[in-house]
Amino acid sequence: MNREKSITINGKRFSLEAGETVLEVAQRNGIDIPTLCYIEGSMPTGACRICMVEVKGARNLLPACATPATHNMVVETESERVIQSRKMNIELLLASGNHNCLTCEANGDCVLQELAYRYQVEIVRFPESPVRYATETSNPLIIRDFSRCILCGRCVQACNEVQVNNAISYGYRGTASKIVANGDLPYHESDCVFCGECIRVCPVGALIEKPSRFQGRPWEVRTVKTTCPYCGVGCQIDLHIRDNKVVKVTGTEGVPPNFGSLCVKGRFGYDFINEPERLTVPLIKEDGQFREASWDEALSLVAERLGEIRSKSGPDSIGVFSSAKITNEENYLAQKFARAVIGTNNVDHCARL
Ligand code: SF4
Ligand code: SF4
Ligand code: SF4
């Protein structure tokens, strides 16, 4: 006798693993139940009610993310009742603030927008709620647009459970609800460390990288995967590039060691790339003053001086310092130059762990 426990979703039977929710069984089997507040690996909150499904024998629709899958359960994920519920929910969310997508930074990369399209929500029958809280633009890195916040709580879970920074929480009650930092301080006056994890998980345009605003729509940028140069952890990052300029950095999803998370340096520390004050030609110091020089002249001078020092005092009298602000390949060459050409292991880097 087959004792395997199973569940029926949309007319198909699937095996159950102990402790799984309806959403987890569905996801494992390629059935797309939409979510807004769910974060894989975090405690489900059931806050957004988008993943509601119809369970045979249950009076009400149930949130798939928070409903344990049980043996012989029969579930419909796209029944007429479910679709009507989702449509109503989407309408209410669209009416809950300013969801005119035209200049929203999330346009083209917004779960609420995708859901409105998927469920063909063409008309919002409810009046738009007045904007209660002004957009916070007072720090240089993160914009908080409360008019677009749908209070899904993903940012709170990401900050508290994923990054364990505990910088933000729900504040106030009812229609006055707001995501607050340290009792409602601006981010830069709170415990926020600007890791940007909250931006990463926000499903709409309520949290925005300030330096990236108006720098390009998702379809206007190409991404290049690379390794963050700032420390020895080796986080994988995606450079978002438009017109040959880095306009945003995000963590590469689904790969170690960072699985999409970053720290403030990895996420925001790229402004130096296009900084007009960067040196573009070599400088040689003469009589206390720098003058511009050709690469040939500068390299010849450095080779001559290093050769003299090495002959006179030995290779270990020389040290080579490299930088997180050059490429990984250049850093490799710098250590190779120190070890193989000069003959010293005196190599260091500003981000050494
Ligand atoms: S958050 Fe999404 S739905 Fe709202 S305005 Fe921005 S793109 Fe549109
Ligand atoms: S930037 Fe990081 S620390 Fe600050 S609120 Fe967002 S997740 Fe929390
Ligand atoms: S800021 Fe974004 S992630 Fe946080 S509650 Fe609002 S919509 Fe959700």
At 96-110, the pLDDT tens digits run 999 999 999 999 999
- C-alpha 199 – ligand 3 centre gap (Å): 8
Candidate from 110, 154, 214 with most ligand 1 atoms within 8 A of CB, to mutate? 110
Global pTM value: 0.88
36, with CB counted inside 10 A (0-12, 13-18, 19+), is: buried
The position carrying tokens 């908080």 is: 144
Cβ neighbors of 271 (< 8 A, separation 6 or more) are: 211
Contact 320, 309 (CB under 8 A): no
Distance of alpha carbon 69 from its chain centroid, rounded? 30
Identify the CATH number of the domain defined by range 6-78. Answer: 3.10.20.740
Task: Decide which of 3.40.50.300, 3.40.50.10490, 3.40.50.740, 3.40.190.10 is the CATH code for 283-349.
Answer: 3.40.50.740
Closest atom of ligand 2 relative to the 190 alpha carbon? 4
Identify the CATH number of the domain defined by range 101-106+124-214. Answer: 3.30.70.20
- C-alpha 149 – ligand 1 centre gap (Å): 9
Closest ligand to C-alpha of residue 47 is 3
Q: What topology does CATH give the domain 217-278?
A: N-terminal domain of TfIIb (2.20.25)
Q: Which tens digit of pLDDT belongs to each residue from 67-90?
A: 999 999 999 999 999 999 999 999
Ligand 2 pocket (Cβ < 6 Å) reads 158-159, 163, 165, 167-168, 192-198
Q: Which tens digit of pLDDT belongs to each residue from 232-257?
A: 888 999 999 999 999 999 999 999 99
